[in-house]
């Protein structure tokens, strides 16, 4: 994650380690926002239903069919949550207003849950987190979610929007299963999961967020699955895939109103700096490998919901969700 050009030697490695420590702290503190949410009275086309969990508790999917176009032809946008996902509601619903895209000719879909899961199929339950069954999110996203979307009558013109933790899984799913997902958005993601310092950072963050032990996901690092699911190392398979990569420079857009916001802002800055570093180089590699990559790198912005909501509407304005 932090060593983008390893030939730069010791100085680069030192910077990487410092950033990893800062970002590890940030991942366990960032997760709140102030953007207006959909509200307590959803749209008439709203549904909340359980789907097959493939051995883990059946997850809930909350969805809004397009109210202005035929759902069978409206593009479908699936929003995946971040590290601190809750079992009650997707952060995209509680912290943003992107569900209103259903009034702009889109089907909006939000799976609920997946805290610290990286949307993977885990090798075993994480006992330290109190799990009785292992996560099976990759199976859900490859099987029961597409089946549910078909049953719902939603179009197969689908975009996965992966936020932070979910960005790399979104990229890899769109890479491996273009029959299921037409394109993917990496929203302040970390597309080099096996970079020096990254695994330490992720383990610290996952343990803080629910006491999850990442050794229960794919085993002790290094392991084959970690490399197989690192977008940076798999750009050769991305020829012809459609990706939108967003990150910001970690710069605030104003003074924080209080000390709590000040602390969150510092954490969000650290995370976004690392995301920007990785995302820029990943985009170059993926484009060189033949992927259709749109980039959106902003000089102002931190790891926070307001900026992600704004970016979603920029993508909408560009028409990329429809035909990118």
Three-state DSSP state, 142 = helix
Which residues, in sequence order, are bridge partners of residue 52?
Answer: none
Q: Is 48 designated active site? A: no
Picking from 40, 209, 218, the residue whose alpha carbon sits closest to that of residue 121 is 218
Q: Which long-range contacts (CB under 8 A, 24 or more apart) does 10-19 make?
A: 13/196, 16/195, 16/196, 16/197, 17/196, 17/197, 19/197, 19/270, 19/273, 19/274, 19/277
Question: CA 144 to CA 138: how far, in whole Å?
Answer: 10
Residue 39 backbone class (left: φ over 0; alpha: ψ -120 to 50; beta: rest) = left
- One of 16, 144, 303, 311 is an active-site residue; which one? 303
- One of 116, 164, 269, 275 is an active-site residue; which one? 164
Question: CA 306 to CA 262: how far, in whole Å?
Answer: 15
CB–CB of 231/134 below 8 Å? no
Q: Is 192 designated active site? A: no
CB–CB of 120/219 below 8 Å? no
Q: Is 303 designated active site? A: yes
Map tokens 């273009």 to a residue: 178
- One of 93, 95, 272, 311 is an active-site residue; which one? 272
Active-site residue numbers? 164, 272, 303
């Amino acid at each position: 994650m932090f060593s983008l050009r390893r030939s730069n030697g010791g100085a680069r490695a030192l910077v990487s380690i410092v950033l990893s420590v800062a970002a590890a702290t940030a991942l366990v503190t960032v997760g709140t926002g102030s953007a207006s949410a959909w509200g307590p009275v959803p749209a008439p086309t709203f549904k909340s239903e359980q789907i097959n969990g493939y051995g883990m508790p059946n997850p809930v999917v909350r969805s809004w069919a397009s109210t202005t176009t035929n759902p069978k032809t409206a593009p479908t946008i699936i929003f995946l949550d971040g590290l601190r996902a809750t079992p009650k509601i997707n952060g995209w619903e509680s912290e943003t207003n992107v569900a209103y895209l259903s009034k702009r000719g889109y089907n909006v879909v939000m799976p609920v849950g997946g805290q610290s899961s990286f949307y993977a199929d885990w090798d075993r339950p994480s006992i330290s987190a109190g799990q009785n069954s292992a996560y099976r999110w990759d199976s859900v996203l490859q099987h029961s979610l597409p089946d549910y979307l078909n049953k719902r009558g939603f179009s197969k013109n689908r975009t996965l929007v992966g936020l932070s933790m979910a960005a790399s899984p979104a990229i890899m799913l769109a890479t491996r299963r273009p029959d299921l997902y037409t394109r993917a958005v990496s929203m302040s993601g970390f597309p080099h999961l096996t970079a020096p310092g990254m695994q330490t950072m992720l383990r610290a963050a996952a343990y803080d967020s629910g006491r999850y032990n990442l050794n229960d996901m794919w085993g002790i690092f290094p392991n084959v699955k970690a490399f197989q699911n690192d977008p940076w190392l798999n750009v050769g398979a991305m020829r012809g895939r459609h990706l939108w990569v967003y990150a910001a420079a970690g710069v605030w857009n104003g003074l924080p109103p209080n000390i709590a916001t000040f602390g969150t802002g510092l954490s969000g800055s650290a995370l976004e700096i690392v995301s920007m570093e990785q995302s820029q180089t990943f985009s170059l590699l993926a484009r060189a490998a033949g992927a259709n990559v749109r980039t959106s790198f902003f000089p102002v912005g931190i790891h926070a919901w307001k900026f992600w909501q704004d970016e979603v509407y920029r993508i909408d304005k560009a028409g990329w969700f429809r035909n990118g």
